[in-house]
Amino acid sequence: MKLAGLLLCLFLLPAPASGAAAAGPVALPPWFTETFLDFREDVAKAAKENRRLMVYFGQDGCPYCKELILTNFSQKRIADKAQKNFLSISLNIWGDREVTWTDGKKYSEKRLAAFLKIQFTPTLVFFDERGAIVARLNGYYPPHRFEAVLD
């Protein structure tokens, strides 16, 4: 009888706040582009449009990735600069999609992340018009610092 009463009390307790829903993936801004993940093509396309390639490495459930997307990318000045100056694509550091590196070598997303020694999410890698890495942001940067890198 005591066990039944205890179980009834457990069912009547309020449910915990839904932190699990917050841990799921957060939608990227619409200006992120879906490509065939051939960086040679992506760099060339960006250069033809007078832009550069920006690659975002993230993972589901990453609170700092969520902060970057919801705080930084939601600011009009940052979004406008990123959209105007960069061809932006995203990769999952644990993903299995095939990516072709600038030298033609093929990697899975997670193998490319290991090759580039990506240890933090979010990490953003910026390429010049020849496909060379010119900047890299490891981890979350607040909007004022992040915007300075975009400049």
Spell out the SS3 assignment of 83-119: HHHEEEEEEECCCCCEEECCCCCEEEHHHHHHHCCCC
* Average pLDDT rounded to a whole number, residues 76-83: 96
Q: Is residue 59 assigned to a domain?
A: yes
pLDDT, residue 8, reads 41
Whether the full predicted model's pTM is greater than 0.85, yes or no, is no
Domain span at 58: 39-150
Number of folded domains that form the chain: 1
pLDDT band at 79 (very low <50, low <70, confident <90, very high): very high
Q: Is residue 72 assigned to a domain?
A: yes
CATH of the domain at 136: 3.40.30.10
pLDDT, residue 140, reads 97
Identify the CA nearest to 86 among candidates 141, 138, 125: 125
Q: Is residue 4 assigned to a domain?
A: no
Q: Is residue 138 assigned to a domain?
A: yes
